[in-house]
């Protein structure tokens, strides 16, 4: 068993991981490595189109407080306000930093960074780089990491986190390219493994590999996951594939119409109309579809109409949207409206971490979408995730550097690595009575049906039963490819097993949160209930395989809960 030795290992090469790597590389001579299952520039951050929120020095009338208020209100008051405060105050510093490193933000005629309106924001504060904001950020961060000679373990797959109950000691990982389980000794670990919306397998805007691997590994290592019931459904996923149409399409003035051509948002959010926050728009669309006002032969989608924007504006502001609509939906938005329906988009919940990204285990940090700090509470505002990713990438890096500088050497036992090796061998020798592809699809359908845009006690209980049954059946999946090199059959299976571990962690708190808040919309409890549920849910996996639920208070500093109206 090969052993690798670092001071800090950053797991994940997306926005959070790379920004952490950069700040670590520039601020320490410790040995830092970035481990990622896909080459960094391929991470899901590259798919973020719309933009990144921040109050800049030239944002007239706007302030970090206003940003914080919008964020807290958007979160349906579940966000921790001390953390939101940190994030919003760091906005400008982070944007200027990455602009100075080369991110080609779109500019105003006077040469300053342009900002546009985005859902749920009281001022236009979303900075963007055409409609490829995340792509440019990711490429630029990667360039800067190359410049700083960051060590990359590309195409390595995190398996397990090793700790002694108090502090982290190492991790185990599979080297995808060459095969083999490795034990990696390290003083600090930053988990930046991204979201888990692939739980909804076919109905998600996320990349194929957004399977919550880091979150699942944390869960298995006994760490608490927070607010897992909150999954954001993006209102506008392409009808056929779930692939995203950016919120920018509505920001630029697109209309949502039902089968009668009605701009139905006037019945749901008369003032903000199409620019209301995602959860409200998604629910409006789902309601239109559920009540028979959907478009198309099956009435299962809604139309996003951009035709009045004209070809020039569409080409200039929304080139990628046009390309995707043509390629995946066969519709040219210049001429026809785009068929869309809600799609699972973002995981608000994740690894429980505090306002500096620290988990209960010393030396173990979480940043980006895999973490639940929580700055998004029950619902994330569009453009706030990239900000979260950068702010916490940077903060956790500095925390980790500080910690690793002083932390004693660790001595991880090989037991975990041996276990993982055994687990993989067992997968290859399983009976194969069940197929990953089938079970994965089934899991996605169950989650969408029972834990989708709308939720309800009876249906959720049924759903949980089905999920647990799938978890049982998952013991029979087999990895047919027994080779070592680039065994994608194995990776696919491991990813699926992570989803299976996470699904109940979503279902259990979803059932117990008997209220509607943010993305968690219950038909049987349509109102928010601050008296009983203004609190974070916390799920832990017990040794006997059951999921244990507890609750934790929300940090409220300035903004007292009020009704969330737009």
Partner 1 sequence: METAILQVFRYDPEKDQAPYYKEYEVPVEGTLLNALLYIKDNLDPTLAFRAFCRSEVCGSCSMKVNGKTKLACKTPMKELVETWKGKPLRIEPLNHMKVIKDLVVDIDKPIEKMKTLIPWLVPDPRVVPTDPMHESIIYPEEMEAYKDQIHCMLCFSCYSACEAVADNERYRGPFAFSKAYRFQVDRRDIETAKEKRIRYAISGGLWSCVQCQKCIHVCPKGVRPAEDIQNLRGQAVKKGFTDKPGAKKLKHFVDWIYATGQINRLYLPEEVYGNKEAREKLTKAYTEMGVEVWEVPKPTKGLMKFRDIYLEILSKEDKALDLDYSHVRKIDKMVSDIFKADICTIVDKAHEEGRSSRGLISKLKGLLGGQ
Ligand X SMILES: Cc1cc2nc3c(=O)[nH]c(=O)nc-3n(C[C@H](O)[C@H](O)[C@H](O)COP(=O)(O)OP(=O)(O)OC[C@H]3O[C@@H](n4cnc5c(N)ncnc54)[C@H](O)[C@@H]3O)c2cc1C
Kindly name the residue from 42, 257, 278, 283 that is annotated as catalytic. Answer: 278
426 binds partner 1 (CB under 8 A): no
Residue 2, C-beta contacts closer than 8 angstroms, at least 6 positions apart: 180, 182, 183
Min. distance of Cβ 288 from ligand X in angstroms? 23
Contact partner, 374, from ligand X, partner 1, none, Cβ < 5-8 Å per class: none
Binding partner of 384, given ligand X, partner 1, none, CB within 5-8 angstroms per partner class: ligand X
Using CB under 6 A as the binding rule, whether residue 16 contacts ligand X is answered as yes
Contact map string, positions 135 to 174, toward partner 1, x by CB under 8 A = xx--xx--xx-xx------x--------------------
Ramachandran bin of 536, using left for φ above 0, alpha for ψ from -120 to 50, beta for the remaining angles: beta
Smallest gap, in angstroms, from Cβ of residue 357 to partner 1? Answer: 20
Residue of 95, 97, 89 whose CA lies nearest to 114: 95
Query: Phi and psi dihedrals of 473, rounded to 5?
Result: -65, -25
Instruction: Give me the half-sphere count of Cα atoms (radius 13 Å) on the Cβ side of residue 118.
Output: 26
Ranges assigned E (strand) in 186-275: 188-191, 225-226, 231-238, 255-257
Cβ burial 97-109 (10 Å sphere, 16+ → b, else e): bbbeeebebbeee
What is the 3 state secondary structure string of 51-107?
A: CEECCCCCCCCCCHHHHHHHHHHHCCCCCCHHHHHHHHHHHHHHHHHHHHCCCCCCE
Give the one residue of 8, 32, 90, 192 binding ligand X; rule: CB under 6 A. Answer: 192
> Applying CB under 8 A, does 492 fall inside the site for partner 1?
yes
CA atoms within 13 A on the CB side of 458: 2
Binding characters for partner 1, 169-208, by CB under 8 A (x = yes): --------x-----------------------------xx
Q: Give the number of residues written for the chain.
A: 566
Kindly tell me which residue out of 484, 535, 540, 552 binds partner 1, with binding defined by CB under 8 A.
484
When binding is defined by CB under 8 A, the residue of 215, 347, 396, 487 that contacts partner 1 is: 487
Q: Which of residues 50-89 bind ligand X (CB under 6 A)?
A: 50-52
> Which of partner 1, ligand X, none has residue 369 at its interface (CB below 5 to 8 Å by kind)?
ligand X
Q: Tell me if 486 contacts partner 1 by CB under 8 A.
A: yes
278 as an active site residue: the answer is: yes
Is the peptide bond between 374 and the residue preceding it cis, with omega within 30 degrees of 0?
yes
C-alpha 182/C-alpha 189 separation (Å) is 15
Segment interacting with ligand X, rule: CB under 6 A, options 31-39, 93-101, 139-147, 180-188: 31-39
Task: Decide if residue 35 touches ligand X (CB under 6 A).
Answer: yes
The strand order across the sheet containing 115-116 reads 52-53, 126-127, 115-116
φ, ψ of residue 325 to 5 degrees: the values are: -60, -40
What CA–CA distance (Å, rounded) separates 286 from 281? 9
Instruction: Rule CB under 6 A: choose which of 70, 227, 252, 369 binds ligand X.
Output: 369
**Considering the rule CB under 8 A, would residue 398 count as an interface residue with partner 1?**
no
Question: Per the structure block, which two tokens stand in for 498?
Answer: 């992570």
User: Taking CB under 6 A as the rule, which mask of x and - marks residues 117-136 in contact with ligand X?
Assistant: ----------------xx--
Token look-up 């490429």 returns 139
User: Site residues (CB under 8 A) for partner 1?
Assistant: 38-39, 41-44, 46-47, 56-58, 92-93, 96-97, 99-102, 104, 106-113, 132, 135-136, 139-140, 143-144, 146-147, 154, 177, 207-209, 241, 243-244, 320, 323-324, 327-328, 436-437, 479-481, 483-489, 492
User: Site residues (CB under 6 A) for ligand X?
Assistant: 11-17, 35-38, 40, 43-45, 47-52, 133-134, 156-158, 192-195, 205-206, 210, 213-214, 244, 345-346, 368-370, 382-386, 389
> Which of the residues are catalytic?
278
């Amino acid at each position: 068993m090969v052993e690798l030795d670092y001071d800090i290992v950053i797991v994940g090469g997306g926005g959070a991981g790379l920004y952490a790597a950069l700040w670590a590389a520039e601020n320490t001579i410790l040995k830092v490595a970035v481990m990622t299952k896909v080459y960094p520039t391929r991470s899901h951050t590259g798919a973020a189109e719309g933009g990144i929120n921040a109050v800049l020095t030239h944002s007239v009338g706007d302030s970090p407080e206003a940003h914080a208020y919008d964020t807290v209100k958007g979160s349906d008051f579940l966000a921790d306000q001390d953390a939101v405060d940190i994030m919003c105050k760091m906005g400008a510093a982070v944007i200027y930093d990455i602009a100075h490193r080369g991110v080609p933000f779109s500019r105003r005629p006077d040469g300053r960074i342009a900002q546009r309106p985005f859902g749920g924001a009281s001022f236009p504060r979303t900075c963007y780089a055409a409609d490829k904001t995340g792509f440019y950020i990711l490429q630029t961060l990667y360039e800067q990491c190359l410049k700083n000679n960051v060590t990359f373990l590309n195409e390595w797959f995190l398996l397990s986190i090793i700790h002694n109950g108090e502090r982290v000691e190492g991790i185990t990982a599979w080297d995808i390219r060459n095969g083999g389980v490795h034990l990696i000794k390290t003083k600090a670990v930053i988990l930046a493994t991204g979201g888990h919306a692939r739980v909804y397998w076919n109905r998600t805007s996320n990349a194929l590999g957004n399977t919550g691997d880091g979150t699942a590994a944390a869960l298995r290592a006994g760490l608490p996951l927070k607010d897992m019931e909150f999954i954001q459904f993006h209102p506008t996923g392409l009808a056929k594939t779930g692939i995203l149409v950016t919120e920018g399409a509505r920001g630029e003035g697109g209309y949502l119409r039902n089968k009668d051509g009605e701009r139905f948002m006037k019945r749901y959010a008369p003032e903000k109309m199409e620019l209301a926050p995602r959860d409200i728009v998604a629910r409006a669309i789902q309601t239109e579809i559920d009540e028979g006002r959907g478009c198309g032969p099956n009435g299962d989608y809604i139309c996003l109409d951009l035709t009045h924007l004209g070809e020039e504006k569409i080409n200039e502001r929304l080139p990628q949207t046009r390309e995707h609509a043509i390629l995946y939906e066969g519709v040219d938005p210049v001429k026809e409206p785009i068929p869309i329906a809600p799609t699972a988009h973002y995981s608000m919940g994740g690894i429980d971490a505090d306002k500096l990204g620290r988990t209960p285990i010393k030396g173990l940090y979480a940043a980006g979408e895999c973490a639940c700090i929580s700055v998004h509470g029950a619902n994330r505002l569009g453009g706030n995730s990239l900000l979260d990713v950068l702010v916490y990438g940077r903060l956790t890096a500095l925390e980790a550097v500080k910690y690793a500088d002083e932390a004693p050497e660790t001595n991880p036992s090989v037991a975990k690595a041996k276990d993982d090796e055994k687990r993989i061998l067992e997968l290859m020798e399983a009976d194969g009575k069940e197929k990953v592809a089938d079970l994965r699809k089934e899991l996605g359908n169950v989650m969408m049906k029972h834990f989708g845009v709308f939720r309800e006690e009876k249906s959720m209980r049924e759903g949980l039963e089905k999920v647990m049954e799938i978890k049982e059946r998952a013991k029979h999946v087999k990895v047919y490819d027994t080779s070592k090199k680039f065994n994608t059959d194995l990776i696919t299976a491991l990813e699926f097993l992570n989803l299976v571990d996470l699904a109940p962690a979503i279902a259990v708190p979803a059932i117990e949160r008997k209220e509607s808040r943010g993305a968690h919309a219950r038909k049987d409890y349509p109102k928010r209930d601050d008296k009983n549920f203004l609190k974070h849910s916390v799920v832990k996996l017990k040794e006997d395989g059951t999921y244990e639920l507890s609750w934790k208070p929300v940090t409220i500093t300035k903004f007292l809960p009020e009704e969330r109206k737009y």
